[in-house]
Chains A and B, each alone.
Chain A
Amino acid sequence: MTIDLKTVKHISKLSRISVDEEKAKKLEKDLNSIFKFIEKLNQLNTGKVDPLTSVADTVLQLRKDEIKSLNIRDQILKNSPEDNKDFFVVPKVVE
């Protein structure tokens, strides 16, 4: 299958990455060559195969809900995009 310009723009919307017309055209070319490569998988019959989701042979362990780092509010706030003193100042993200 091929990915057309409309699909590229749809994927960019889903990915929350804006692309201009020129970038979209370049992506169309790149994505098509990548998907052409990926589609080799269609040669394989995988009807009865179980999907492998993880190679780690582990069972999720519960651990105590303990406080490990205290009094690092300032350090954490320093990483926020706006210069905040006491709170995170964020754009409104819920309607």
Chain B
Amino acid sequence: MNGILDLTLVKLVEKIKNRELSSEEVTKTFIDRSQKSKKLNVYITENFDKALEEAKNFDQKPDFKKKLAGIPIAVKDLFCTKDLKTTAASKILENFIPTYESTITDNLWKEGGILLGKLNCDEFAMGSSNETSYFGNVQSPLGANLVPGGSSGGSASALAANLTPITIGTDTGGSIRQPASFTGTVGLKPTYGSCSRYGIVAFASSLDQAGPMTKDVKDCSLLFEVISSYDKKDSTSVDFKRGNYLNNLTNSIKGKKIGIPKEYRVDGMSKEIEELWQKGVNILKDAGAEVIDISLPNTSYALPAYYIVAPAEASSNLARYDGVKYGFRAKGDNLIDMYEKTRSEGFGNEVKRRIMIGTYVLSSGYYDAYYLKAQKVRRLIKNDFDDAYKKVDAILTPSTPNSAFKIGEKTNDPVSMYLNDIFTVPVNLAGIPAISIPAGHDSNGLPLGLQIIGKAFDEQNILNIAFSMEQQIKFKNKITDWWI
């Protein structure tokens, strides 16, 4: 394998800054491999020619003060990129070319990043397997006909397959952490309000949060540092002093109190996941942390509450796709007919299903029974975490109840698909940060992840814990390049 492909972001930046590597060399290497990896179906839009041009420009006038000096980056196709198609993996936005840039991607380019292309995902980020994309499902580099997870499945696949050194995803109910767990990569869902939502195609606005997906915790810290910023263009952006997450990264977690919530030991949990979790506990103890049993009593209500709140917000956010001013328009006999056909043909089944759930729970006569009830449950979930954090500094759980499954295995049963997010959803409802790190393999050699959940705006702490665990786990992804 080519050395460049195996380097972490931190190493690549170092080598570019030392002039051991040029941005052009690095960019070309990732483009070449991407060209050979079409089978994975990770790209919706490639930006290769322009990326090379920009890399050459960088090399001619390098600015080594930048944190991502000359680094090529592919991003989830949910981030608006000025003058480059942004589809949200939907037919309804198939030809949408934004006239503005999302704050997150703008932050990447300001620090010297170069856009490689836009990555496949579940349509409007609704899905846990990247099978709902209008542009076809994504293959996992871990094995043929295996899902990469979702919704940031293209991002996870591209990263694990070494088609981009780092990437950015979004996480509404687990869409960064679950695919990270499935592909043996690191994924962080930051605290709500830490990363700007401006220019991200909206799914459920009170839950959506963008975050880094990387090969290791150091890269994650650096990338998080770059993308987190206060943004006046996002009314829920929080103005607080962002840290130097990479510089402050330490593996010293002696005396840290880590909670193990008994409610995450769900019925029918596989022995492999149980053992992985125990391995995590032992590693934390070895590092000098204090492991404490805790209770998050309302955990089992999180997923049902999520499937009211998220679709409700989605039905409202997606009302804008009506075929009038932009996006796909179907022909209709009259205005209402045009609306109905546009939305029926423009959206895929999962998106339509969620719009309909959302419309129903917000409709007259059902609002109190469903939507208001779910918001009350959301309060209880948050209170659970608040109470736990009086006793502990962070919480350790598995990231997912299982490893990656086969393409098509869960598409006929929406509830079994939704259960994938059982361990990730509570975090979004409470607005707190969580990171998934690869922690082991199942009996088929597929990656399994552990999740570290932190207090609001305490990302440094969970990054430190993840860093310490990573050094003890020494995870190695088993990728055979089966698709080349």
Contact = CB atoms under 8 A, between A and B. Distances in A.
Interface of A: 3, 7-8, 11-12, 14-19, 27, 30-31, 33-34, 37-41, 44, 46, 49-58, 60-61, 63, 69, 72, 75-76, 78-82, 88, 90-93
A52 B378 contact: yes
Contacts of B100: 69
Contacts of B335: 91-93
Contacts, number: 158
A36 to B, nearest CB: 8
Given A44-B301, A49-B380, 13 more contacts: A14-B360, A18-B341, A31-B353, A34-B357, A38-B304, A38-B308, A52-B379, A55-B193, A63-B232, A78-B97, A82-B329, A91-B338, A92-B335
Contacts of B301: 40-41, 44
Interface stretch (B39-47, B110-118, B144-152, B410-418): B410-418
Contacts of A88: 325
Interface of B: 83, 95-97, 99-100, 192-193, 206, 232, 235-238, 298, 300-301, 303-305, 307-308, 315, 322-329, 335-341, 343-344, 347, 352-353, 355-357, 359-360, 363, 370, 372-380, 382, 413-415, 418, 429-431
Question: Chain B interface secondary structure, helix, strand, loop or mixed?
Answer: helix
B244 to A, nearest CB: 24
B33 to A, nearest CB: 33
A60 B236 CA distance: 8
A90 B325 contact: yes
Given A40-B301, A55-B192, A58-B193, A49 B206 contact: no
Nearest to B82: A75
A58 B325 contact: no
B307 A37 contact: yes
Q: Which of B298, B323, B337 has the most CB of A within 10 A?
A: B323
A75 B99 contact: yes
Contact of A57 (B83, B238, B379): B238
Contact of B418 (A27, A37, A93): A37
24 contacts: A8-B356, A11-B356, A16-B343, A17-B340, A31-B356, A33-B415, A34-B307, A34-B415, A38-B304, A40-B300, A41-B304, A49-B376, A51-B379, A52-B378, A53-B375, A54-B236, A56-B238, A56-B431, A69-B100, A72-B99, A78-B97, A79-B326, A81-B328, A93-B335
Given A55-B192, A56-B236, A88-B325, A27 B353 contact: yes
B339 A16 contact: yes
B261 to A, nearest CB: 18
Given A16-B336, A38-B308, A69-B100, A53 B356 contact: no
Contact of B382 (A52, A56, A91): A52
Contacts of A52: 375-376, 378-379, 382
Contacts of B357: 31, 34
Q: Which of B315, B322, B370, B376 has the most CB of A within 10 A?
A: B376
Given A40-B300, A50-B379, A16 B305 contact: no
